[in-house]
Structure 1
């Protein structure tokens, strides 16, 4: 796997290395999200996040051993930023993401995830005093409009119970988007002016996430919000490993590659294209996707693009 990925880097060394990595990550996240949606019926979000983190760490350690890059070249400040990014973006963000999938489904949750770049821009405005021009605000509003148009679409089977799940899922999705935005900013700050490899960046983030989850689980169990469920089915175990390999191991590695080798705005925009990839997958799995849903995805992604390219 390392050799394949290394050949990809050489192939794309002339240009578009970060862009290709971002699109590949978005596609893998779409595939993994559908699998996580099925696994969520058997495994609670906190436990599932821990499992996928451990599996991905094992793959990353194996890849590092094969590559021979045993010692990371990283400054203390960058190390702290990456660890904090893992705690926020993966530990908190992915747990909320998996909980949201159980309520809303992968397609809607990935679409709400397109709010992460606008949230990042607003956070930068508040805390870093980075000014936004008119086109940037138009992009933010367009993204919000596209997301809202899809999420509020009612189906004939809508009931009070499904409405409760809807708002619960929206809450978890927004929390995941905010955590993803904060994690992305921290990761970008750590990688922008350092020589640390995307491979080590992904590993350090995942280690921090797994450690915070191990601390979190006893408190969740004490409060009765965590239930340990045994993985009795070999099919479930293999599905969890495959999803972790695609979405966490390869996905986060490619994400860090995109953030390192292309502009932050381009990387964040292309990393949010998962809703485009998931639509044909959802149709193939028998899910009914309306014209309104497809139009909402196009509007939301156009807003993300407008936010960065014309700002």
Structure 2
């Protein structure tokens, strides 16, 4: 029974891994900056995966990948691990993990929309309804009325919300390109290729911005390094690899729906770890956004 639902189960574990990862990375990002966290977590993630693949596949590096794998997974890594995460990790610092994860709930609708535009995939009327419900749930959280009850205002940093939205676009494109590039190839080795591209991209960015001093400062911070290391285990190592494994055994729609529960799974962490005071309407908004994603793909 469990074997027949391996795609769905790995998607659920992926959501939990990403939730835990986000908590670690937000805490580290506020200490040493999101750029340093992005760079270091890729080094950790690649190290963990390389050791794992060496003992499970007999390959330290993805030397058995085809040209097709390398091209499409590299593009996926550039868009997902570099551009998308560059914005998402800064969103963690700007507006916190909980609101960032809520905005990221737009990723499945964006994925469906991109599939419609570029791959001619059909979106049903219920799917369109699901998109609007997801957006309505997010709006319930980030919008409110002024005290005079005449104007609608955004209750969180517009810059942070924009960063999270750009992160969602990066994740959506990365997912589509990963599915194209992976095919029957090993999910963990596929993640190695994506990380390699992301790492090279960040090296170029650090060199261009001359941020090596910030990186050295972050490496000397033992607490930050511990947080990044733990986050890398749950994110670039377990989370991303399990997401690709999920895509291998189930559809992108079902996988996206299950992993999109993060706006809900992050709530206990926000209360217990970050001591946030969460309003009932914010919990309702998170539930509505997840319900919208479910309607989009499952009805």
1:73/1:195 contact within 8 Å kept: no
1:200 aligns with 2:178: no
1:72/1:200 contact within 8 Å kept: no
Who is 1:210 aligned against?
199
2:65 counterpart SS class? coil
Who is 1:299 aligned against?
288
1-structure distance, mates of 2:287, 2:50 = 38
1:108 aligns with 2:99: yes
Who is 2:181 aligned against?
190
1-structure distance, mates of 2:107, 2:169 = 6
2:240 is matched with which residue: 242, 247, 252? 252
1:27 aligns with 2:16: yes
Q: TM-score, normalised by structure 2?
A: 0.90
1:130 counterpart SS class? coil
1-structure distance, mates of 2:295, 2:95 = 27
For residue 25 of structure 1, report the CA deviation from its aligned partner.
Answer: 1.2
Who is 2:135 aligned against?
144
CA separation of 1:26 and 1:39: change in aligned 2, threshold 3 A: same
For residue 113 of structure 1, report the CA deviation from its aligned partner.
Answer: 0.5
For residue 165 of structure 1, report the CA deviation from its aligned partner.
Answer: 6.5
Q: TM-score, normalised by structure 1?
A: 0.87
1-structure distance, mates of 2:221, 2:105 = 34
2-structure distance, mates of 1:219, 1:66 = 37
CA separation of 1:188 and 1:38: change in aligned 2, threshold 3 A: same
Who is 1:89 aligned against?
80
1:43/1:229 contact within 8 Å kept: no
Unaligned residue ranges in structure 1 (runs of 5+): 1-10, 157-162
1:73/1:196 contact within 8 Å kept: no
1-structure distance, mates of 2:100, 2:75 = 24
Q: Within 5 A, what are the aligned runs for 1:110-129?
A: 110-129=101-120
For residue 199 of structure 1, report the CA deviation from its aligned partner.
Answer: 1.0
Who is 1:265 aligned against?
253
RMSD: 2.3
1:195 counterpart SS class? coil
2:32/2:224 contact within 8 Å kept: no
2:144/2:155 contact within 8 Å kept: no
Who is 2:222 aligned against?
234
